Structure 1
Amino acid sequence: MSGLLEGQVALVTGAGGGIGRGIATRFAEEGAAVVLHCRTGVDAADEVARRIRGLGGRALVLRADLTDEDACRRLVAGAAEWGGGRLTALVNNAGVQPTRELAGMTVAQWRAVVDTNLSSVFACTQAAVEVMRGQDGGGSVTHIASIEASHPAPLHAHYSASKAAVVMHARAAALEYGCLGIRVNTVSPGLIDRDGLGEAWPEGVRRWRAAAPVGRLGRPQDVGDACVFLASGLASWITGHDLVVDGGMSARAAW
């Protein structure tokens, strides 16, 4: 690896899931010390942390319910304390993607998705900025959005709306935090492969592979590569940008 993130301290939320594990692994491979957040996927996060340590890297697992604003602040504070008072990169990856018809959706069901996917991004970013603004070099924040922020799918109204708001939050935060040396961007993945996806949704996977210009599903490390780039010095003049990582699917005509 090239050591693009050597000396950085990064916090990756939702690191117990497939995409989060891929992001955390790629950050560690590029030299960052990584804090892996999880809510329920403790065993998975611990496994990634052990793998990182086995390769000579530094990793810590912290649990938190990110629908609780105070928990978000404690998580960021714990990550910075472990990092010797520093936090140079935050990746807001934690999220949920339930399916439900819009017509029968309750406000509670709507809020459950918005609080997890959007409000946690706001709270974690706000807490991270308080650490980053006082350190040399500032820092970077990357939100994991989705191509559904601009291309909604049936039964995903709450998810798509939350991800569209995440993209706009990043743009607004980039505008206000740029003077502090803090860059804020989003990565919008397409369909990312995971264990059992082909069996659970064979027709959808087949259609994606047939339609995608590169002819395959995404991999967690594809999202991780994009996040590494945005957190690195190679992206020092990039902020307020949405980096789409979907194998070219968004370039296809819908007619």
Structure 2
Amino acid sequence: MNLLAGQVALVTGGGGGGIGRGIALRFAAEGAAVAVHCRTSDEGARDVVARIGAAGGRAVVLRGDLADEDECRRVVREAAEWGGGRLDALVNNAGVQPVQELAGMTAADWRAVVDTNVLSVFACTQAAAEIMRQQEFGGSVTHIASIEAAHPAPGHAHYSASKAAVVMHARSAALEYGPYGIRVNTVSPGLVDREGLAGDWPEGVRRWQQAVPVGRLGRAEDIGDACVFLASRLASWVSGHDLVVDGGMSARPTW
């Protein structure tokens, strides 16, 4: 449908085999030129860029450690320079999700998750907004949050807290950047399938499939579709919103 024709987009954490890859490929399929960020997964990022190029699109790999504020700003700046001085869409997807009991967690453990999942969102958004506010039509920023921002899971206290912070950051940024034509939203996925998930966590996958109203795990392209919508003109009056993409799981009663 070419919903993003002519746009320049940056997808952080786009080199992995999961959600980031799905978002980058969907953006390219809808006509955007895509800067695909990675921290260590160079091979995966190059594969995404190659797939986009083979389909007639335009993409580039940008590497950086987004736990570092200066690196966040550099990656955003380089994406805009590659895009000819503009940046229309930013998807803050990069993040970590370790499993660790709260009782044994150290402050360093906590910071390792929060600094990656929240600081990167703050710094990348701030850097992108400096560019977008100079553009005629502003821009769109989408953070990848999680249904765990509202429904915590055992061993995920630091992750759940970080994603709750991401949701509130988007609402605050929507309020302050809105006058410049910049829309900021979150997408909160449920359990999204990836290679090896069923083998790594068979009991969790089984429970999810039994409980989710639509009867399946999410796919990376499901999250990509939501991000495409929020970056497109179809969502031109949508800002400060958390779009839950979980197959209806959040609608289930907990009692």
TM-score interval, smaller chain: over 0.9
Q: Answer yes or no: is 1:10 the counterpart of 2:9.
A: yes
Distance across 2 between alignment mates of 1:112 and 1:187: 22
Q: CA deviation at 1:41?
A: 0.8
Q: What one-letter code is carried by the residue in structure 2 that aligns with 1:143?
A: H
Counterpart for residue 236 of structure 1: 236
Shift of 1:160: 0.1
> What is the CA distance between 1:136 and its match in structure 2?
1.2
CA distance in 1, matches of 2:183, 2:104: 39
Alpha-carbon deviation of 1:176? 0.2
Query: What does residue 38 of structure 1 align with?
Result: 38
- 3-state SS of paired residue (2:223): helix
Q: Tell me the residue number matched to 2:162.
A: 162
Number of the residue aligned with 1:68: 68
Q: Which amino acid aligns with 2:166?
A: V
CA distance in 2, matches of 1:44, 1:62: 12
- TM-score, normalised by the number of residues in structure 2: 0.99
Q: Give the distance between the partners of 2:245 and 2:41, measured in 1 at CA.
A: 25
Secondary structure in structure 1 of the residue aligned to 2:213: coil
Secondary structure, in 3 states, of the residue corresponding to 1:37?
Answer: strand
How far residue 59 of structure 1 moved from its aligned partner, in angstroms, is 0.2
> Could you tell me how far 1:133 is from its partner in structure 2?
0.4
1:23 counterpart = 2:23: yes
Normalising by structure 1, report the TM-score: 0.99
Q: Distance in 1 between matches of 2:173 and 2:201?
A: 36
Q: Map residues 1-150 of structure 1 onto 2, 5 A cutoff.
A: 2-17=1-16, 18-150=18-150
Deviation string, structure 1 residues 118-171 (Cα, Å, up to 9, x no partner): 010000000000000001100000000000000000000000000000000000
Secondary structure of the 1:136 match is coil
Shift of 1:181: 0.2
| Letter matched to residue 75 of structure 2 | L
Superposed CA RMSD: 0.4
- Deviation of residue 55 (structure 1)? 0.7
Q: CA deviation at 1:16?
A: 1.2
Determine whether 1:190 maps to 2:170.
no
Q: Distance between the aligned counterparts of 2:144 and 2:39, measured in 1? A: 17
Instruction: Kindly provide the amino acid, as one letter, of the partner of residue 90 in structure 2.
Output: L
* Consecutive aligned runs of 4 or more in structure 1 exceeding 4 Å deviation: none
SS at match of 1:210: helix
The Cα of 1:80 is off from its aligned counterpart by: 0.2
In structure 2, how many angstroms separate the alpha carbons of the residues matched to 1:79 and 1:9?
A: 8
Tell me the residue number matched to 1:180.
180
C-alpha deviation, 1:33, in angstroms = 0.1
* Post-superposition CA distance 1:43-68 (Å, at most 9, x none): 01100100100111000000000011
Q: By how many angstroms is 1:220 displaced?
A: 0.3
Please state whether the residue corresponding to 1:49 is helix, strand or coil.
helix
Q: Which residue of 2 aligns with 1:199?
A: 199
The count of residues paired between Structure 1 and Structure 2 equals 254
Q: Deviations over 1:216-244 (max 9, x none)?
A: 00000000000000000000000000000
AA in 2 matched with 1:151: H
Q: Give the letter aligned to residue 235 of structure 1.
A: A
